[in-house]
Amino acid sequence: MDIRYKLYPYPVLSSGTDDYLNSSFQFQADVEKGIRELKFTFTMELRNEGLNKKIKEGMAEFLIHIECPQTCYRNVVTADEPVFTRRIQEKFLNGKVSMCAFVVARKDISEYSNADFNPDYGSITFSIDRGSILAVGGQYDFTVIKDTEELAKIPSVFTICKYAADTDENMKIDMDGEKIVIALSDSSFQNYRMLANMPALLPVFHAMIIVPALIFVFETMRREGTEEYETRRWYMAVRKTLAKYNILFNHDTLCDIPSYVLAQKLLDLPIDRALQAITMLDDSEEE
C-alpha cells in the first residue's frame, strides 16, 4: 500500500494538507530480527492536543497498515499508546515491506472540532464515522533479506516463459518484477522445454540465454541508474553474489566494470562451462 494523498470531506492532519496548524504526525519503525520472526517497534509522534485527547478517551487510535506485495501479506495493528511492539513470523514477509501510519476514529464522533483547525473552517463541526482517517503519519519501507542459498543462486531469479506474439522471434526481457522474466517465441520456448530436462546442458542454457539477459539488465541500469530496482529480489541476488568476489554492486561498478565481465563473474565462467559441456556430450556420443 503506497500512500496517495486525497481530499476528505473533513479536516485530516497530514503533511500534504494545511487542514491543521501547528500540528504534525510522524512515526518511526525499528525492526529487530529474531530466529523465525521480526519484532517491530513503532514510535508515534503526534503533535496535536485534540487528537491525543481523543486517543486517551478511547474515541480514536493509532493504526499501522503492513503490506508485503511479494507474499500477499496484509495486516493491521492498532494501539492507544505512542510506543508499541508487534511480532510477525518471518515466513510472511519477503522483499519489500511497506508500513503506513494513521490515526483513525475508534467510535463514531459527532460534532468533531479541533482547536488547531485551519481558520478557514471557522466554527464548523464534523460528523466522523467509526474507522475514518483523522491523521496520516506517512510511509516507511524496508526490505526483508532472507539469508538462504537460493538468494545467491543467480539462475533462480530468472523466469523463462513464452510470450503471446507468434510473429516476433526476438527474446524479450522484463526486469520490473521480483524475478527477471525472459520471454521466448513459441518455437524457441518449445525447444527450451524439451532440452531443459537435460542437466548436462544447463551451462549451455546459461551461456545462450542468461548471459545476454544479464548484459541487457546491467546496460539498462548503467544508463538509467539502480534506484528503481534496488528492492527487487533479483537485484539483491546479484549484489550478494558479487559480494563473494569483493565487488560492491552499485552504479559506479556498472560504469567501471564491463557488463559482460560482471555477467561471467555471476555465473562462474559460463562460456568455459558451456564449451566443456558440449565437448563432454561429443565424447559420450563417440563412445
Kindly state whether residue 19 falls inside one of the protein's structural domains: no
Of 90, 117, 144, the domain-final residue? 144
Whether 271 has a pLDDT exceeding 80, the answer reads no
CATH number, domain containing residue 86? 2.60.40.10
Q: Rounded mean pLDDT of the chain?
A: 84
Query: What are the tens digits of pLDDT across the range 182-195?
Result: 888 888 888 777 77
Kindly state whether residue 73 falls inside one of the protein's structural domains: yes
pLDDT of residue 191: 79
Total domains, the chain: 2
Kindly state whether residue 31 falls inside one of the protein's structural domains: yes
- Mark whether 102 and 179 lie in a shared domain: no
Q: How far apart are CA 101 and CA 66, in angstroms?
A: 9
Q: How far apart are CA 112 and CA 106, in angstroms?
A: 13
Whether 279 has a pLDDT exceeding 90, the answer reads no
Count of alpha carbons within 13 Å of 136, Cβ hemisphere only? 17
Residue 143 CB contacts under 8 Å (≥ 6 apart), including other chains: 95, 96, 97, 231, 236
Q: Give the β-pairing of 158-162 and 180-184.
A: parallel
pLDDT of residue 22: 94
- Mark whether 160 and 275 lie in a shared domain: yes
Of 78, 110, 144, the domain-final residue? 144
pLDDT of residue 100: 94
Whether 149 has a pLDDT exceeding 70, the answer reads no
Residue with cell 549451455: 204
- Mark whether 69 and 45 lie in a shared domain: yes
- Mark whether 121 and 175 lie in a shared domain: no
With helix as H, strand as E and coil as C, how does 18-45 read? CCECCCEEEEEEEEEECCCEEEEEEEEE
User: Model confidence at 148, in pLDDT bands (50, 70, 90)?
Assistant: very low
Residue 224 CB contacts under 8 Å (≥ 6 apart), including other chains: none
- Mark whether 170 and 198 lie in a shared domain: yes
Kindly state whether residue 9 falls inside one of the protein's structural domains: no
Q: How far apart are CA 43 and CA 196, in angstroms?
A: 51
Query: What are the tens digits of pLDDT across the range 3-48?
Result: 566 778 999 999 888 999 999 999 999 988 877 788 999 999 999 9
User: Model confidence at 282, in pLDDT bands (50, 70, 90)?
Assistant: low
Q: How far apart are CA 169 and CA 221, in angstroms?
A: 25
- Mark whether 34 and 124 lie in a shared domain: yes
The most confident of 195-199, 225-229, 239-243, 266-270, by mean pLDDT: 225-229
Nearest residue to 251 (alpha-carbon basis) of 233, 229, 276: 229
Nearest residue to 67 (alpha-carbon basis) of 105, 102, 98, 23: 98
- Mark whether 159 and 281 lie in a shared domain: yes
Positive or negative, the Cα torsion across 7, 13, 18, 24?
Answer: negative
- Mark whether 158 and 282 lie in a shared domain: yes
- Mark whether 54 and 119 lie in a shared domain: yes
Residue with cell 524439451: 194
What percentage of the chain has pLDDT greater than the value 90?
46
pLDDT of residue 107: 95
Of 128, 144, 160, the domain-final residue? 144
- Mark whether 88 and 160 lie in a shared domain: no
Phi/psi-derived region of residue 246, left when phi > 0, alpha when psi is between -120 and 50, beta in every other case: left
Kindly state whether residue 7 falls inside one of the protein's structural domains: no
Count Cβ atoms within 10 A of the Cβ of residue 270 and give its class: 0-12 exposed, 13-18 middle, 19 or more buried: buried
Structural domain boundaries enclosing 216: 149-286
Kindly state whether residue 18 falls inside one of the protein's structural domains: no
- Mark whether 41 and 71 lie in a shared domain: yes
User: Model confidence at 145, in pLDDT bands (50, 70, 90)?
Assistant: low
Kindly state whether residue 4 falls inside one of the protein's structural domains: no
- Mark whether 199 and 170 lie in a shared domain: yes
Kindly state whether residue 218 falls inside one of the protein's structural domains: yes
**Sheet of 158-162, strand order:** 158-162, 180-184, 172-174
pLDDT of residue 189: 82
Contact 232, 226 (CB under 8 A): no
